[in-house]
Amino acid sequence: MGISIPDSYILPADDNNHTLIKKLTKLPLSDLISLFSRWLLDNENFESDKQEEYDKALYAKNHTLNEDFVYLQQSKKLNTNHIIYKLIQKYFSFNIKMKHLAELDCKILKYSTNESFKWTCSRIINTVLDTSNNGNNPLFYTIDIPKFQQFLMKDFENIHAIHLYSCENFDPELPLILCRIQIFGTLFGPNTSQPVISSSKLPYYIAFRKYQTLHIFSTTINKDDVFSKLILKSLCKSISSDNYGCNYIYLKNYLDIEPTFNLKNLYKYFCTPLQNINGPWLPYLEQKVDPLLNSTGDISPFYIKNKKNIDSHNDSKQTKTIYKFKGILPNNVSNDYLNPEHINYNSVVPVTNVEYYTKHILSDTSTPVNINISLKGKDVFAGLHKLCDDGFIDVERIPNWLCGQNSLSSGYIDENNNFKKLKKSGRLI
């Protein structure tokens, strides 16, 4: 049986001072003050059945901390790092509880991505019921966090101690429950049977919907990480025990989707109506585009409800690129909007890493040539959109698959310039 670390456990100050201050500087001032205020009330064991009384006490703490911050900033001329150091020293004596560190880590996820790990997405699969209905009616589940913690304790042996923290609404844009799991190594002293914390690993995170859960978002340090696999195995056991008729539950990873630093992108892709929709295809979802067929019989993103074809020679280059990458212009478009300085190049679902593969036969030598295209960046299709406007790419010739038509998916481009999705193994799907 693993060892559960309580929320009140305090890590040695030498282990977290530098890291703690570095993390706190990532928060906006309002969130930083609010976080400190809640920590102070928690340390004072403030209890009240009335939310109004708690809010009043929280406001008083906010006011005091704000005054301290302004005083240190204006009178002492200290920078933010030194101010945070002084506040922690004054109010907490560097004795930060395990719960507070976990709360801070979850709060930071709203504002920045942690480059120590990447997010992946898995689907909950019931090998009995999902198979019987051929996957046509996917089953949804509710995660019982206390039961999940029980299985974690069972699956991890005595040499490991675990702290599990969960929170809701850590980011207003992500209606998910976030679980932070941190694993510690333990040692048993020669004169005691009680374990002593000897080392710690980076936290693991799991996110899922509160109700009607089908997808599990999780972090991993690398693909062969044993601890992350064991954590997900414990999660599967907790789901199985809570659902009648579930003989076996496992998580199927989406191998064709590259792990990403950005959880919001994965959420938009799997848990919203925007799934598999990006760039010129978004207006179909919003019913702004008439799904007419072009000469090849394929649905074309280039025909808008007013029957305007972007291939019209009367359109400006900027108009054509907006139609091609975004699908439609905003209402009441002015000439000023078409100025590249005012165009919003950001994609609906920013793609940071995508690859395309194709093979061509050189007409003069009949020699096959393999071509791999790898695109990486904060928003690769926004970048291509900008390159078209700047004249580096010909908007008349750029294919649809280079305009974000296939969203996050990498794939193979056949001889007819059609896109076929690829799994990581290289097989077509």
- pLDDT tens per residue, range 49-58: 778 888 888 8
Greatest distance between any 2 Cα atoms in the chain = 87
When pLDDT is cut at 50, 70 and 90, the band that residue 36 belongs to is very high
Residue 385 has pLDDT above 70, yes or no: yes
Last residue of a domain, one of 49, 73, 108: 108
145 and 57 within one domain: no
Q: Where are the beta strands (DSSP E) in 56-194?
A: 118-126, 160-168, 177-188
pLDDT of residue 93: 78
- Please state the rounded mean pLDDT for residues 214-235: 85
Predicted pLDDT at 178: 93
Within a domain: residue 312?
yes
pLDDT-derived band of residue 309, with 50, 70 and 90 as boundaries? Answer: very low
Residue with tokens 């007419």: 292
Residues 249 and 290 in one domain: no
Residues 49 and 128 in one domain: no
Q: What is the pLDDT of residues 417-429, one digit of tens each?
A: 777 776 544 433 3
User: Do residues 72 and 129 share a domain?
Assistant: no
pLDDT band at 273 (very low <50, low <70, confident <90, very high): low
100 vs 354: CA distance, rounded Å: 38
Q: What is the pLDDT of residue 165?
A: 94
Is pLDDT larger for residue 56 or for residue 260? Answer: 56
Q: Where are the alpha helices (DSSP H) in 261-306?
A: 263-271, 282-285
Whether residue 429 lies inside any domain: the answer is no
pLDDT in tens, 129-173: 655 555 455 677 888 899 999 888 888 876 688 899 999 878 877
> Which of the pair, 401 or 122, is modelled with greater confidence?
122
Residues 146 and 36 in one domain: no
Please tell me whether residues 123 and 74 are part of one structural domain.
Answer: no
Is the pLDDT score of 380 beyond 80?
yes
99 lies in some domain: yes
State how far the Cα of 201 lies from the Cα of 181, in Å rounded to an integer: 10
- Check residue 381 and give its pLDDT: 87
Judge if 239 and 318 occupy the same domain: no
Query: Domain tally for the chain?
Result: 3
Q: For residue 49, what pLDDT is reported?
A: 74
Going by pLDDT thresholds of 50, 70 and 90, the confidence category of residue 198 is: low
Nearest CA among 393, 26, 3 for reference residue 182: 3
- The single-letter code of the amino acid at 73 is Q
> Mean of the pLDDT values across residues 322-351?
60
Confidence (pLDDT) at 206: 94
Asked if residue 5 is part of any domain, the answer here is no
**85 and 164 inside one domain:** no
pLDDT of residue 333: 45
Domain final residue, candidates 85, 108, 131: 108
The closest alpha carbon to 235, from 154, 298, 306, belongs to 154
125 and 257 inside one domain: yes
Q: Where does a domain end: 108, 142, 171?
A: 108
- 292 pLDDT more than 60: no
pTM of the model: 0.63
Using the predicted structure, report yes or no on whether residue 2 has a pLDDT greater than 80: no
Query: Is a pLDDT exceeding 60 seen at residue 190?
Result: no
Is 83 within the bounds of a domain? Answer: yes
> pLDDT grade, residue 181 (50/70/90)?
very high
What are the start-end ranges of the E strands in 242-377?
A: 249-253, 353-361, 368-376
Residues 241 and 299 in one domain: no
* Residue-wise pLDDT tens digits, 387-411: 888 888 888 888 888 887 776 778 8
Contacts of 127 (CB under 8 A, 6+ apart): 247, 248, 249, 250
Same domain, 99 and 135: no
Residue 415 backbone dihedrals phi, psi, to 5 degrees: -65, -20
* 283 and 267 in a common domain: no
Question: What is the domain range of residue 202?
Answer: 118-271
- Give the chain's length: 429
Write the CATH number for 314: 3.10.20.720
- Whether 4 is in a domain gets the answer no
Q: Is residue 112 within 8 Å of residue 32, measured between CB atoms? A: no
What does the pLDDT read at residue 205? Answer: 93
Structure tokens at 391: 């004249």
* pLDDT value, residue 180: 94
Share of the chain above pLDDT 70, in %: 70
Residue 113 has pLDDT above 80, yes or no: no
Position 301 pLDDT exceeds 50: no
Specify if 2 maps to a domain: no
pLDDT at residue 204, as a whole number? 92
pLDDT of residue 4: 84
| Average predicted confidence (pLDDT) for the chain | 75
pLDDT digits (tens, 9 = 90+) for 231-246: 998 998 888 876 554 5
Residue 400 lies in a domain: yes
Residue pair 214/138 in contact by the 8 Å Cβ criterion: yes
